[in-house]
Amino acid sequence: MSSTTQSKTLQKGLFGMALPIFGEFMLNMSVPVFDALFLSQVSDQAAASVGAVMPWFSMAIVFFSATGIAGASLASQYMGKQNYQRANLILAGLIILGVLAGLLCGLFFVSQASNIGQWMSLLPDMSLLAAEYLVLAGAGVGFMGLRMTLANICNSYGQSHWNTISAALMLVTNIIGNGVLVLGWFGATPMGVTGVALASLIAWLLSLSFSLLVVLLLIKVKLPLAEAIKKPALSLKPILKIAVPSALEPFSYQSFVMVMNLMIVQFGETSLTVRIYALNIYVYCTMMLVAIGIANTMLVTQLAGAGHFERCHQQMRQGMRWGLIAVAIVASIIFIFHQSLLGLFTSNPEVLALGVVVCLIHSLNEPLRAINIISGNVLRGCGDAVFVTGNAIAVTWLFSVPLAYFTGVYLGYGLYAVLLAGMVDEFLRSQINWRRWKSDKWKRKLAPD
């Protein structure tokens, strides 16, 4: 980047940032769906084997995501201060962390590919199929992580539309690659599970290359990598101070979801089935909220860096208002058509009957999630990640988990009680985060000049 290049985040505004981010998420979420579809063409066993080890990829992606958002938020603060030299130093540190994390993740997956399936208690044949996938896809997960890092750099400069194009390129390449390597298009020899992994690897690499060209040649970001290596206290440490606690919160939440599912299993297969299907149809609410949350965070952190605190509060109210409106509309539509949507997955009348109340609880829960996600994202972006994570872990494990067990399992109120406990969890966390924001205590956590 030349010294005159400026971030366009504030010019784009909330919707100018959020809509491309939402489009990117939609495209990204479609990749594993198509992978599962092509794996099912190999065999049900192949689809189940790879699906069983995908949570390991999710853990790696959580760290890449937390690190990327932390770096982009810090850079946005310095852009607000018009200190682009320091902002780019942070972004260079973000690239270094992305490369190191990618190498470590790749080394782990390649070296432990044959063991991960055994850790998941897969049958020997399934473990071999999982290892076949992990050796290739695991080696290249760093490509995906580095692409996410570059996407966050684009976001910090208000150029989120490039990420949508990059994600579209990745999806199209993945589909064509799977068609050639798995289904044997154009006379190619089908390669089974290896073909699915190779298609993903090629798609990640091509998308990464495109994003790198965008950052360096189109946005023209100057990344002082040598300086970032020499000054880790200025380039790496500030990111990790936000990223490490930020990564702990999603781990805590995913663990909570797993514990809830373990409780729900005790109520029977039907209860677990309707729970999983409901999560699948409400995922679009989550994607929309995260997109608005990231866009709002980029805007607020840049305003905070400039010292425009009244505008910060105005932007926060705008982000919260539109987040609540959007999620209320989408959640209401999903609830109105929940029978048809659940019918895409099953025709079991017991599942459809349970789905009425389950979808009602999910619809009522989404506005609480909106407050929690939007306020939590901004607090983390302003450097208050330790508070947000501490709040999440304390509320979830000291209150919500015991409440879910006591009401759902011990008192025997079943599935609905467990889901309502999850709703109480979102309510408490959202209120604590929102009050923290209004207290202005987060100002003490902003990046120093």
- Per-residue pLDDT tens digits of the chain, which is 449 residues long: 344 467 788 888 898 988 998 888 888 878 877 887 788 788 877 877 787 777 777 778 878 888 888 888 899 999 998 999 999 999 999 999 999 989 998 999 989 888 888 887 778 888 898 899 888 888 888 898 899 999 999 998 989 899 999 999 999 999 999 999 988 898 888 888 899 999 999 999 999 999 999 999 999 999 999 999 999 998 899 898 888 888 888 888 878 887 888 888 888 878 888 887 888 788 888 888 989 999 999 999 999 998 999 999 999 999 999 999 999 999 999 999 999 988 877 788 888 999 999 999 999 999 999 999 999 999 999 999 999 999 999 999 999 999 999 999 999 999 999 999 999 999 999 999 999 999 999 999 888 86
Answer yes or no: do 217 and 332 share one domain: no
What is the domain extent for residue 365? 242-445
Answer yes or no: do 194 and 113 share one domain: yes
Distance of CA 312 to the CA centre of its chain: 24
Answer yes or no: do 44 and 165 share one domain: yes
Answer yes or no: do 191 and 322 share one domain: no
User: Does residue 168 lie in a domain region?
Assistant: yes
For residues 58 and 51, give the distance between their C-alpha atoms in angstroms, rounded to a whole number.
11
| Nearest CA among 286, 281, 136 for reference residue 199 | 136
Give the number of residues written for the chain.
449
Answer yes or no: do 58 and 183 share one domain: yes
> Which two three-digit tokens encode residue 350?
């017991």
User: Does residue 2 lie in a domain region?
Assistant: no
Answer yes or no: do 63 and 197 share one domain: yes
For residues 401 and 58, give the distance between their C-alpha atoms in angstroms, rounded to a whole number.
23
Which helix (DSSP H) or strand (DSSP E) does residue 150 occupy?
helix 141-156
Q: Residue 369: what pLDDT?
A: 94
Q: How far is CA 360 from CA 226, 266, 277, 368, 419, in A?
A: 54, 22, 14, 14, 11
What pTM was estimated for this model as a whole? 0.84
| Among candidate residues 186, 213, 235, the one where a domain is terminated | 235
| Among candidate residues 235, 253, 274, the one where a domain is terminated | 235
Percentage of the chain lying above the pLDDT 90 cut: 50
- Cβ-defined contacts of 317-321 (< 8 Å, 24+): 318/14, 319/14, 319/292, 319/293, 319/295, 319/374, 319/378, 320/370, 320/371, 320/374, 320/375
| Nearest CA among 11, 10, 14, 17 for reference residue 322 | 14
Answer yes or no: do 15 and 65 share one domain: yes
User: Does residue 4 lie in a domain region?
Assistant: no
| Among candidate residues 235, 269, 290, the one where a domain is terminated | 235
Answer yes or no: do 319 and 421 share one domain: yes
DSSP secondary structure, 58-98, as one string? HHHHHHHHHHHHHHHHHHHHHHHTT-HHHHHHHHHHHHHHH
Total domain count, the chain: 2
Q: Residue 62: what pLDDT?
A: 79
Q: Residue 5: what pLDDT?
A: 63
Helix pair angle (141-156, 44-80), 10° resolution: 30
User: Does residue 193 lie in a domain region?
Assistant: yes
Distance of CA 75 to the CA centre of its chain: 20
Answer yes or no: do 334 and 185 share one domain: no
User: Does residue 303 lie in a domain region?
Assistant: yes
Q: Residue 2: what pLDDT?
A: 43
Answer yes or no: do 282 and 155 share one domain: no
User: Does residue 1 lie in a domain region?
Assistant: no
For residues 64 and 412, give the distance between their C-alpha atoms in angstroms, rounded to a whole number.
40
Answer yes or no: do 316 and 359 share one domain: yes
Answer yes or no: do 252 and 307 share one domain: yes
Q: Residue 107: what pLDDT?
A: 92
User: Does residue 3 lie in a domain region?
Assistant: no
> Which two three-digit tokens encode residue 3?
């010294």
